[in-house]
Structure 1
Amino acid sequence: MHRSGATMAWNVFKFCTALRGLGSIMILLVLGVVGVTYYAVVLTNYGPALYAGGLDFLSAFAILILFHSLLVMLLWSYFSVVFTDAGSVPPNWKPAVDEERGEADPLVGSDFNNVAPSDPSNQHIRFCRKCNQLKPPRCHHCSVCGRCVLKMDHHCVWVVNCVGALNYKYFLLFLFYTFLETTLVTASLLPQFLAFFSDGEIPVTPGSLATTFLAFVLNLAFALSVMGFLIMHISLVAANTTTIEAYEKKTSPKWRYDLGRRKNFEQVFGMDKRYWFIPCYSEEDIRRMPALQGLDYPSKPDFDSQ
């Protein structure tokens, strides 16, 4: 039995190590898809159409402007997720007040044995035995990163990073702009894709046609898959929960952090509307909304009395 447990731990360790090793490969894969798409849309199809004049010029110009605008936002959001720390527990972090004991002095020493972290809706002080430190509310340990992550949603191999309190907004914007971009590319390349199956003469080289075909298939696949993830995360934001919390609270119908859709949305995107669709926050939002820092979250005032 002991040997089986050790084998399982070793397998998990190798799996987490493999995920960490995928880092540069996944980034190169994303950039590769972007490169193929750019070649098919700009260099092969709609770039040359700018010299045609008339309606062809106008339609090509409109598509290229929208394509490049969405591409800039997509890449900005993507690298914001990649290079933004999802949020780690500050060294020697301690809660300001122990709500369970009504004391300013938090749980220490043998009190950790009484901590019950299984219910995500409770306010018990939690302790991570892997990191050997206290855990703020809604914080979870990531086995891939090897640390506790504030308001952890999941570890994403596509962004080579954890998605948590400080970059969740950027991840959602990445999904949003990826969906818009891939949908635009799919629609704009559809005529060329259908021409691939026609009996008429195709006025492009076989290499350009193959690139267009590949770009269409890739973008259609990404559009459909990202749409599913986007719908799922929109529902999570509306309920002010994360992927991990949604799984954990299946048996708990009450959720203390659900403050209504408007406030739930603002806890992720901030209160300044000018920043809602760009991967950054206003200084005022960061200063006045502790929830954006991942350490403190408002809850329903009448939750405990329900």
Structure 2
Amino acid sequence: MYRSGAVMAWNVFKFCTALRGLGSIMILLVLGIVGVSYYAVVITNYGPGLAAGGLDSLLAFVVLVLFHCLLVMLLWSYFSVVFTDPGGVPPNWRPAVDEERGDSDPLTGTEFPADSENGRVRFCRKCNQLKPPRCHHCSVCGRCILKMDHHCVWVVNCVGALNYKYFLLFLFYTFLETTLVTLSLLPHFIAFFSDGDIPGTPGSLATTFLAFVLNLAFALSVMGFLIMHISLVTANTTTIEAYEKKTTPKWRYDLGRKRNFEQVFGMDKKYWFIPAYSEEDLRRIPALQGLEYPSKPDLDAQEF
């Protein structure tokens, strides 16, 4: 029985390692869905509608402007997640000594303690290195990730401290874009089931039908993920931390909704909806660097 469990665990890690090979395939799949939607909305339906005149031209213009603006933000956010390192542990990283409390070096006089939030130091046996607070090891990436949320096959990358905001913006703009495409193609989708003649070639009609179904499915699924991550941001926790049931009323990193939001999106409102941070936010909010996180003073005091 034990041997069977060991084999099962080994197969799971082998599967995680195999996910690295999905890189170009998943990116091409995302671009393929974008291409189908672009062809259905711009080339087939609303592009030609600009020449119709009257309210039809105005509607086509509004749809096309919104579609392209959201598409630019979606792709900008997506590739920011793909190409931004989520954050790794710096070489020879050691926790800082808290001089205000008079704490001594937490490495002195004891072996590395267990992996717990109350432990002074955590150690990763796979990476053979110390782990900063809220850091977890990713079996797919094969390294420790700062404030790891999860490994996402759609972005072919881990979602962590340095790209979590970009991932949330990707979800946000994907939801808006897919909702726009779904609503704009809804009249054409309904026309499939009418008795009248439908303009267009069989290929364009099939593309419109496919784009509507894909975007409706993605809008509904992304909405669920977006709601979940909004709740995580307001509680200043991650998917892994929520799974580990650490989001109790005494969760030490819950600083209130406003400050929790700023720990992810920064304080500069001009940067809230773009995948970037101001230099001032990067300097004054340590959590954006992924190594230090403010916590409730009363809970810190209870640990000693």
Into which bin does the TM-score normalised by the smaller protein fall?
A: over 0.9
**Is the contact between residue 241 and residue 247 of structure 2 (CA under 8 Å) also seen in structure 1?**
no
Instruction: For residue 231 of structure 1, report the CA deviation from its aligned partner.
Output: 0.2
Q: Aligned-pair distance for 1:111? A: 1.3
Q: Out of 145, 148, 151, which is 2:147 matched to?
A: 151
Q: Once the two structures are superposed, what CA deviation does each residue of 1:36-76 show, in whole Å capped at 9, x if it has no partner?
A: 00000000000000111211111100100000000000000
Alpha-carbon deviation of 1:109? 8.4
What SS does the corresponding residue of 1:22 show, helix, strand or coil?
A: helix
Alpha-carbon distance in structure 2 between the residues aligned to 1:78 and 1:161: 11
Tell me what 1:107 maps to: 107
User: What code does the residue aligned with 1:52 have?
Assistant: A
Does the Cα contact within 8 Å between 1:98 and 1:107 map onto a contact in 2?
no
How far apart in 1 are the matches of 2:246 and 2:279? 36
Secondary structure at the counterpart of residue 93 of structure 2: coil
> Is the aligned partner of 1:185 residue 2:181?
yes
Structure 1: distance between partners of 2:287 and 2:276: 15
Aligned-partner residue type, residue 42 of structure 2: V
Distance in structure 2 (CA, Å) of the matches to 1:174 and 1:251: 25
> What residue is the counterpart of 2:114 in the other structure?
116
Cα distance between partner residues in 1 of 2:131 and 2:115? 10
Inter-CA distance 252–264: structure 2 relative to 1 (3 Å threshold): closer
Q: Report what 2:288 is aligned to.
A: 292
User: In the TM superposition, what are the counterparts of 1:20-39 in structure 2 within 5 Å?
Assistant: 20-39=20-39
Kindly report the root-mean-square deviation, in angstroms, between the aligned alpha carbons of the 2 structures. 1.8
SS of corresponding position for 2:277: coil
Map of 1:246 onto structure 2: 242
Which runs of structure 2 are paired with 1:1-306 in the superposition (5 Å)? Answer: 3-4=3-4, 6-97=6-97, 102-107=102-107, 111-112=111-112, 115-118=113-116, 120=117, 122=118, 124-250=120-246, 252-305=248-301
Give the superposition deviation at 1:289: 1.1
Counterpart CA distance in 2 for 1:38 and 1:75 is 13
1:134-172 per-residue CA deviation (whole Å, 9 max, x = no partner) reads: 000000000110100000000000000000000000000
Shift of 1:17: 2.2
Structure 1: give runs of 5+ residues left out of the alignment. Answer: none
* SS across alignment from 2:144: strand
Please tell me the residue identity of whatever aligns with 2:176.
Answer: L
What's the CA shift for 1:268? 0.1
Deviation at 1:190, TM superposition (A): 0.2
